[in-house]
Amino acid sequence: MKKFTNIKSVFFDLDGTLFDTAPELSFATNQMLKDIDLQELESDIIKSFIGKGADNLIRKSISYSSRQDPEVLFKKARKLFDKYYILNAAQSLPYDGAEDVLMKLKKKKLSLACVTNKPEIYTQAILEESGLIYYLDLVVSGDTVSRKKPDPMQLQYSCEKLEVEPKQAIMVGDSCNDIEAGFSAGTYVVTVPYGYQYGQSIESDKVDLAIKNLNDLVTIIN
C-alpha cells in the first residue's frame, strides 16, 4: 500500500466519511415530503441523493416523489427540511473506528480538519454531540467560505489556516466532490468506499489511494 511522507494535515469530509448521516437526513426528508403532501421515499432512494448538499437532496426528492417542478415547492420544502433536520442532526453517529483513527493521527502530531459542504449549524451540532470536535484543529463548513467542494476554496482556506502546503495535506472523502476539490487544491486525495457517491464512480486517476476503511490512514502516513 502506498505510503505518504512529510504529511502535516489530514482533511476529512463529514457525510459518508466520518459519519453515517443518512438515517437523520432520510427522516427529515420524508417529514418534509409528508408536509407538502408528497409520497415518502425509501431510505435507499434518499441515500442516493446525499452528497451534493441539502438543496440538491430536496430537489431530487421532490422530483422523484412528484412530477411537479421542484422549484415551485422548493422554498417551502427547504424551510420544512431545516425545521426537521435541526431536531435530529446531532443524533448522527460516527462510523466504527472513526474516533480511534482521529486519536491515533493526533498522536502522530498531525493537524486535523473537517471540511464539509454541510452548513455550520448542523456540522457543529454533529461534531460536538459526538465528541469528535475535540480532535479537530479546524472545521470548515459549507458556509465558512463563499464556495464549496468541488471548488478547491475550502481546502485552500484550510491549508492557509493550518499553515501547510497542499502537498503536506491529504483530503479524505467518499465522493467526486472530495476528489475534485482535493485534486484542484493540489492536496493528496484518499477515498473510502462506503459513503454516499450518488451513483457516481469514485475510481479516478485523480485519487492517490483508495483505502478500505479509515484505519488504513494510520499505517499509510509515515
pTM (2 d.p.):
0.93
Q: What is the mean pLDDT of the chain?
A: 94
DSSP notation for 126-195: HHHHHSGGGG-SEEE-TTTSS--TTSTHHHHHHHHHHT--GGGEEEEESSHHHHHHHHHHT-EEEE-SSS
| Residue 195 confidence (pLDDT) | 81
| Residue 137 confidence (pLDDT) | 98
| Residue 71 confidence (pLDDT) | 93
**Each residue of 169-215: pLDDT tens digit?**
999 999 899 999 999 999 999 999 888 765 567 788 999 999 999 99
Is 20 designated active site? no
Residue 13 clears pLDDT 90, i.e. is over it? yes
Return the percentage of the chain with pLDDT > 90, whole number: 87
Catalytic residue (choose from 13, 20, 178, 208): 13
| Residue 109 confidence (pLDDT) | 96
Q: Do 141 and 119 meet the contact criterion of CB atoms below 8 Å apart?
A: yes
Task: State the residue for C-alpha cell 427547504.
Answer: 78
**Which stretches of 44-87 are assigned E, i.e. beta strand?**
none
**Each residue of 24-83: pLDDT tens digit?**
999 999 999 999 999 999 999 999 998 778 899 999 999 999 988 889 999 999 999 999
φ/ψ bin of 201: left (φ > 0), alpha (ψ from -120 to 50), beta (otherwise): beta
Domains annotated on the chain, with CATH: 9-20+93-220 (3.40.50.1000), 22-91 (1.10.150.240)
| Residue 1 confidence (pLDDT) | 82
